[in-house]
Chains A and B, each alone.
Chain A
C-alpha cells in the first residue's frame, strides 16, 4: 500500500473509532479527509454548487446518524460515495434534472477551459449508466472494485460500462473537439 494511502487508512480508522466513542472532533476529522471529494462528486452529479453543498452536508449528517454501525474495514469510503450518490439521485428526481446543467466552474481559465467545458457538456449528455462509471473511475480515481460497490454492480459490469462510456464520449467529442 502506498504511504499516503496507508496514512489515510489509519487516519480513517482513528476517526471512525473516535466517532463511535462520541468524540466531537471525529466528524470534523472525517470531513477534513473526505469533504472536498464528496463535494466534487456531488457537484459532478448535480451540476450546481448549492445542491452539491446540500448533498455534502446531508452525507456527513448521515455519517453521524449511523456512527454506531460504521466499521473501519476499508469499506467506509465506498459507503460514503454510495450515500452521496443516493442523495444526488433523489435530488435529481425531485428537480427532474436528469441532465446536468452546464454551470460548472473550473478553477483554471486558459485555452483549455473551452475544451473542458466541451468535455463536460459531452459528459452531461451521456446516459447516466455510462456517466457514473466515468465520474467515479476517471474523475474521482476510485478503483474499479470500489466504483462497482458504490454502484452495486459487478466489477465486469462496471468495466463494460466504463469502456462503453469512454467510447460514447469519444463519439460525442468527435466533430466538436480536435481529437486527432
Chain B
C-alpha cells in the first residue's frame, strides 16, 4: 500500500491532504522517508533533463530534409501586432 502511495507522491499525484499524511507517516518511519525522498529526487532529476537544444540551424536542417523530398514548407506569417488585440474604440 505504501509503495503505491510513494509512487504517487514521487510523481506529485497525491492530494495535499494525502501528502501531509505521508509526511506524518514518514516522521515515524525513516525507511519510508528515505524512499519518498529518493524517488521524488529521481523524478525531479528527470525533469531537469528537459532542455535539449533545438536551434535555428537544427530547424533549418529539418526543413531542408523535407525540401529535398520535393516538399517546400511555407512558414505562416506572424499575425501583425495590430490584429492581435482588439482595442476598445472610444466614442
Give A contacts to B, CB under 8 Å: 24-25, 27-29, 31-32, 35-36, 39-40, 43-44, 49, 53-54, 56-57, 60-61, 64, 104-108, 112, 115-116, 119-120, 123, 134, 138-139, 162-163, 166-167, 169-170, 173-174, 177, 179-180
Q: Kindly supply a per-residue 1/0 record for chain B positions 33-56, scoring 1 wherever the CB is within 8 Å of any chain A CB and 0 otherwise.
A: 010011101110111111111100
A180–B58 Cα gap in the complex (Å)?
38
Q: Which residues of A contact B82 (CB under 8 A)?
A: none
**Besides A169-B42, A179-B38, 13 other A-B contacts (C-beta < 8 A):** A25-B75, A28-B74, A32-B75, A61-B66, A105-B52, A106-B51, A107-B51, A107-B53, A116-B49, A123-B49, A166-B11, A169-B46, A173-B45
Across the A-B interface, how many residue pairs have beta carbons closer than 8 Å? 115
Given contacts A40-B52, A105-B52, contact A29 B66 (CB under 8 A): no
Q: 3 closest pairs, A vs B, by CB?
A: A57-B65, A163-B7, A170-B42
Could you tell me if A115 and B48 are in contact, using CB atoms closer than 8 angstroms?
yes
Choose from B11, B48, B54, B76 the contact partner of A119 (Cβ within 8 Å): B48
Given contacts A49-B58, A54-B65, A57-B62, contact A180 B41 (CB under 8 A): yes
Given contacts A61-B69, A180-B38, contact A115 B45 (CB under 8 A): yes
Could you tell me if B73 and A138 are in contact, using CB atoms closer than 8 angstroms?
no
Given contacts A119-B48, A138-B47, A139-B50, contact A60 B42 (CB under 8 A): no
Give B contacts to A, CB under 8 Å: 7, 10-11, 34, 37-39, 41-43, 45-54, 58-59, 61-63, 65-66, 69, 71-77
Could you tell me if B51 and A108 are in contact, using CB atoms closer than 8 angstroms?
yes
Which secondary structure characterizes the binding site on chain A? helix
A53–B50 Cα gap in the complex (Å)?
18
